[in-house]
Chains A and B, each alone.
Chain A
Amino acid sequence: MDYLYLLATLLFVVGIKNLTSVKTCQRGNKISEIAMLLAVVTVLAATGNISWWALIGGLLVGGGVGVWVAVKTPTTQMPEMVAALNGLGGAASAFVALAAILEHPVMHQADKCLADTGLVNAISTPITILIGLVTLTGSFIAFFKLGGKKLSHPLKGTARHYLHAAIAVGIIGCSYWQVIATSAAGLTTATILLSVLALVLGVFLVMPIGGADMPVVVSLLNSYSGMAGSASGFVIGNPMLVVVGALVGTSGIILTQIMCKAMNRSLGNVLLGGMGEESVAKDAKDYKSIKSTTPEEVAMLLDGAASVIMVPGYGLAVAQAQHTIRELGELLIKRGANVRYAIHPVAGRMPGHMNVLLAESDVPYDQLWEMDRINSDFKNTDVVIIVGANDVVNPAAREATGPIAGMPILDVDHARTVVVIKRSLAPGYAGIKNPLFERDNCLMVFLDAKEALEGMVKEVKELGK
């Protein structure tokens, strides 16, 4: 049996490796699915005296909910969904540790405490509960923030740090108490207190971080849930859990760093909530000399354009306009224009979000251009159409100071004409003004993305007649 665990572990490693390249990613996911199936079958075969109602009930309920959310969730809400799934994974590890305390034979003897089950096991138990439950509530706060809910921390500045420090001290105290408690009442109280404090900590840690940084937070929490799994492996003495959890844990940290780099932010900066305060700059809505236009006029502009670049952002996803933008692109290509899509690494709510969305609506892969490849081409472009993106095209990022200073942006302002489809002049996630909108070559279309694009499609078709 142990050899099957080893095989499953190796397959997980190969699977993750394959997931990091476009050519092999599908195979990678399949390999990791097979590894998971193998692991589950192996543990079922190895475990005797199974509580059948818990097993079958859990698999049916969990499987049903899993399939339901996977099928029902629209592509636009996938980031939220990854966050929610991740939270449940963390919770599962915490439940494993809690059940393991109740079941350990040593714990059924009088005057024995968790420490008597072995040092590593004893320490791993509160660690699993802590990381698992922090992941649970932290992920759900991230889930709501990704959904656009504004949740802010009740305390500011130093008071917040004191509160977090107090919670941390409480957690360490309860963990110690849990490990040394010899009475059932003491153990129960310590465990409940520890669980509550961990749940509260998860909420408070994620709350002050701004919505724009949520992808990084979700990635970090993903790493945590791997660590929780690894710690639960120590609790129940299963090396495969230890290894696979550690793999997800540390590779998750690397992925988090890669994502931070794409946004030109440091992890510490994100966690301390640099721009994350969700404060909106005072002048964020003060705009002078804005030129607004209609889809009809944009269509005329497009009529004479040889080169067009579309810049999709989260607004496209919200309006469910991914099919309409593809339709407009196809129309323009038929009319002889060169049409490309410029994808900022963090456009949308999660890196790669736009790629997934556009690929799903059948935009050919070779029309999707990454920022570094397309940035020098903007100066030779007739029309840039920005759909529901804001911060990723904000020239304020080129300045030396400011909340988004240094963030790599798409150089859309170098194009001859920039058309911005946006419902209002409201600031983006960073909560700052976008000077692009005041430029001479910038035209605003104040409409819902889908409505505006549908209008353009209709007008461009009219031109064809």
Chain B
Amino acid sequence: MDPIFLTIFVFVIASLLGFELINKVPPTLHTPLMSGSNAISGITIVGAIIVATASGGIFAQILAFLAIACATVNVVGGYMVTDRMLGSFKKKGK
């Protein structure tokens, strides 16, 4: 199988998994879940690091820098805020 087709294959299966993964969510968790999956969408940081090669031109490196900076804000901010929200539940939870 052509590797690119394999990637498309995986994309389709992953999309279906995403549809099935979430079915019932209590309203309490809507905001934390959104914020938590928002942090996960910062996974693009992996792509940002891959394109940050020293062999790229200066302009490509600047773009890579911007990509890493934006993705890091997304990841770090997203996870910390989600933890903060969930932490406030925990205290009272049990």
Say whether, besides A58-B64, A59-B72, A92-B74, A359 and B40 are in contact (CB < 8 Å).
no
Least CB distance from A102 to B in Å reads: 4
**Is A425 interfacial (CB 8 A cutoff)?**
no
Chain B: CB-nearest residue to A240: B46
**Interface size class, chain B:** 35 or more
Least CB distance from A341 to B in Å reads: 12
Whether the pair A36, B79 counts as a contact (CB closer than 8 A) is: yes
Say whether, besides A47-B53, A69-B73, A89-B38, A54 and B64 are in contact (CB < 8 Å).
yes
Considering the chains assembled together, what is the distance between the CA atoms of A28 and B86 in angstroms?
Answer: 10
Whether the pair A102, B56 counts as a contact (CB closer than 8 A) is: yes
- Restricting to A24-43, which residues have a CB under 8 Å from any CB of B? 25-26, 28-29, 32-33, 36, 39-40, 43
**Is A309 interfacial (CB 8 A cutoff)?**
no
Least CB distance from B38 to A in Å reads: 5
Which listed residue (A73, A95, A219, A262) contacts B27, Cβ 8 A?
A262
Write out the residue numbers on chain B whose beta carbons fall within 8 Å of the beta carbon of A255: 22, 25, 30, 33-34, 37
The stretch that binds B, out of A11-19, A147-155, A285-293, is A11-19
Write out the residue numbers on chain B whose beta carbons fall within 8 Å of the beta carbon of A39: 43, 45-46
Say whether, besides A99-B63, A225-B41, A255-B37, A351 and B31 are in contact (CB < 8 Å).
yes
- Restricting to A216-266, which residues have a CB under 8 Å from any CB of B? 218-219, 222, 225-226, 228-230, 232-255, 258-259, 262
Considering the chains assembled together, what is the distance between the CA atoms of A234 and B76 in angstroms?
Answer: 24
Whether the pair A29, B86 counts as a contact (CB closer than 8 A) is: yes
Least CB distance from B78 to A in Å reads: 5
> With contacts defined as CB atoms under 8 Å apart, how many contacts are there between chain A and chain B in the complex?
394
- Interface hub of A52, A62, A75, A249 (most chain B Cβ within 10 A): A62
Whether the pair B72, A66 counts as a contact (CB closer than 8 A) is: yes
Whether the pair A16, B88 counts as a contact (CB closer than 8 A) is: no
B contact face: mostly helix, strand, loop, or mixed:
helix
Whether the pair A364, B31 counts as a contact (CB closer than 8 A) is: no
Write out the residue numbers on chain B whose beta carbons fall within 8 Å of the beta carbon of A360: 88
Considering the chains assembled together, what is the distance between the CA atoms of A155 and B57 in angstroms?
Answer: 42
Whether the pair B34, A62 counts as a contact (CB closer than 8 A) is: no
The stretch that binds B, out of A78-86, A160-168, A311-319, is A78-86
**Is A300 interfacial (CB 8 A cutoff)?**
no
- Restricting to A47-64, which residues have a CB under 8 Å from any CB of B? 47, 49-55, 57-59, 61-63
Which listed residue (A26, A47, A350) contacts B30, Cβ 8 A?
A350
Write out the residue numbers on chain B whose beta carbons fall within 8 Å of the beta carbon of A368: 28
Whether the pair A47, B49 counts as a contact (CB closer than 8 A) is: yes
Chain B: CB-nearest residue to A242: B11
**Is A93 interfacial (CB 8 A cutoff)?**
yes
**Is B1 interfacial (CB 8 A cutoff)?**
no
**Is A100 interfacial (CB 8 A cutoff)?**
yes
Least CB distance from A361 to B in Å reads: 8
Write out the residue numbers on chain A whose beta carbons fall within 8 Å of the beta carbon of B42: 36, 89, 92
Whether the pair A103, B77 counts as a contact (CB closer than 8 A) is: no
Whether the pair A247, B77 counts as a contact (CB closer than 8 A) is: no
- Interface hub of A15, A350, A355 (most chain B Cβ within 10 A): A355
Considering the chains assembled together, what is the distance between the CA atoms of A247 and B93 in angstroms?
Answer: 29
Chain A: CB-nearest residue to B75: A36
Whether the pair B32, A251 counts as a contact (CB closer than 8 A) is: no
Considering the chains assembled together, what is the distance between the CA atoms of A65 and B24 in angstroms?
Answer: 34
Interface flags for B1-18 (1: CB within 8 Å of A; 0: not) read 000101110110011111
Whether the pair B27, A86 counts as a contact (CB closer than 8 A) is: no
Whether the pair B47, A232 counts as a contact (CB closer than 8 A) is: yes
**Is A159 interfacial (CB 8 A cutoff)?**
no
Considering the chains assembled together, what is the distance between the CA atoms of A57 and B10 in angstroms?
Answer: 33
Query: Which B residues have a C-beta under 8 Å from some C-beta of A?
Result: 4, 6-8, 10-11, 14-19, 21-57, 59-93
Q: Other than the known A93-B67, A95-B64, what 20 A-B pairs have Cβ atoms closer than 8 Å?
A: A19-B33, A22-B28, A51-B61, A52-B54, A54-B52, A54-B61, A55-B52, A58-B72, A62-B72, A82-B38, A86-B74, A91-B70, A96-B64, A103-B51, A103-B60, A222-B37, A229-B43, A234-B11, A246-B18, A356-B85
23 sampled A-B residue pairs with Cβ under 8 A: A12-B40, A16-B22, A20-B22, A22-B26, A22-B28, A29-B79, A58-B67, A62-B73, A70-B76, A82-B78, A86-B41, A88-B71, A92-B74, A102-B59, A102-B63, A118-B4, A121-B4, A226-B40, A249-B18, A250-B15, A251-B37, A351-B31, A355-B89
Query: Which A residues have a C-beta under 8 Å from some C-beta of B?
Result: 12-13, 15-17, 19-22, 25-26, 28-29, 32-33, 36, 39-40, 43-44, 47, 49-55, 57-59, 61-63, 65-67, 69-71, 73, 75, 78-79, 81-82, 85-86, 88-89, 91-93, 95-96, 98-100, 102-103, 118, 120-121, 215, 218-219, 222, 225-226, 228-230, 232-255, 258-259, 262, 343, 345, 350-353, 355-356, 359-360, 362-365, 368, 370
